[in-house]
Structure 1
C-alpha cells in the first residue's frame, strides 16, 4: 500500500512539474475592433505561420533572391532584428513572410537573431517595445549590431525585402 501511494505521489509530482515547466506564451490572440483575431506580443515564427494562414501562404509562395540568400548565409557578424508587425496589416502579411523565408533559406541562425513583435492597430504591444523604438508604421524591421541600431526597413522595402536587408548588413564594419 505504501509503495502504491509513493508511486502515485511520484506520478502526480512529475505531472505537476511538467505543467509548471511549460514555456510561457509570450503573445495573445485578441479580437480587434472589427472582430478579427489579431496577435499582440512576442510571437514565435512557427506560431505566426500556424495561427495566421495569410502569412503561411505568402511564406510558401515566396522565392527569395539567390544572391541575397548567399550573402545572408555567409554573414558572420552577429545581428539582432526586431520585427514589429500587425497580423491585421496587408504590408506585414506580405513582407514579414518574405523576410522569414529569405532567412530560412540562408540557414544562418547563429549570426542573425530575429524577434517578432505583434502589435495591435494602435501599434501597441504587451512589452511596450513599440513605444521604446518609436514604431509608427508596420511592418518595421529594426536591425542592431553591437547593441546599436544600424538600420530600418519601414512598411515596405525600396527594392526587395532581402535586398534591402543585405544593404543594411553591408554597412556594418
Structure 2
C-alpha cells in the first residue's frame, strides 16, 4: 500500500514535469504516434481524429448502465494506458471517453499515457503498472486499484464498469 501511494505520488510529479501530447514516428509504420503523458486534445490532430471521432460518434453508449455507476465514479481515479498504433486502443478509448462524458466524469481524475509497441514510455511512466496489453484502463479508489479493463471488455465497457465501480 505504501509503495503504491509512493508510486502514485512520483507518477504525479513526473506527469506535471513532462511534455504532453508528444509525437514520435512509429518505426514499424513510419506514421506519427503519441508517446508519454497525453490528454484528449491530442486526438484533435488529424493523425488521430479520423478514428477517434468516428468511434466516439457512432458508439451507442448504454445510458441505463452509465446511470448505475456515474455517481460512484466521481470518487474514482482512472489511468488509461494505450497505443495510438493499436486497433484495440483506437476502438475502445474513444468509446470510453464517450461513456465518461455521459457520466459527467471529472477528467482531472483521468491520466492518459500513450506507449510504444513495447508498451513503454521514455520516462518509464508505466513500469510499475504491470501493462501486458493495450489498452489497459485502471481504476483506483482511495489510492487502491479496484479493477481494470485489459484490451477489450469482458462484456461491454458499461457492464464492466458497473462491475468494477459499483462494488
Q: What's the TM-score, normalizing by structure 1?
A: 0.78
Pick from 37, 43, 46: which aligns with 1:42?
Answer: 37
How far apart are residue 161 of structure 1 and its match? 1.1
- Aligned: 1:28 with 2:25: no
Which of structure 1's runs of 4+ aligned residues deviate more than 4 A?
A: none
Out of 104, 111, 115, the residue aligned to residue 111 of structure 2 is 115
Bigger Cα Rg? 1
Q: Residue 56 of structure 1 aligns to a residue in which SS?
A: helix
Tell me, yes or no, if structure 1 residue 58 matches structure 2 residue 55. Answer: yes
Cα deviation 1:2-22 (Å, max 9, x = unaligned): xxxxxxxxxxxxxxxxxxxxx
1:30 partner SS:
strand
**Unaligned stretches of 5+ in structure 2?**
1-16
Residues 138 and 147 in structure 2, CA contact (< 8 A), matched pair in contact too: yes
| 1:158 alignment partner in structure 2 | 154
Q: CA contact under 8 A between 1:84 and 1:139: conserved in structure 2?
A: yes
Q: How many residues align?
A: 148
**Paired residues of 1:28 and 1:41 also in contact (CA < 8 A):** yes
Q: Which stretches in structure 1 are left out of the alignment for 5+ residues?
A: 1-22
Q: Is the 8 A contact 2:23 2:35 kept in 1?
A: yes
The answer to whether the 8 A contact 2:137-2:149 is kept is yes
SS of aligned partner of 1:137: coil
Are 2:36 and 2:122, in contact at CA under 8 Å, matched by a contact in 1?
yes
CA drift of 1:49 comes to: 4.2
CA distance, structure 2, for counterparts of residue 104 and residue 50 of structure 1: 20
In the alignment, what sits opposite 1:95?
A: 92
Query: TM-score, normalized by length of structure 2?
Result: 0.81
CA distance in 2, matches of 1:24, 1:91: 26
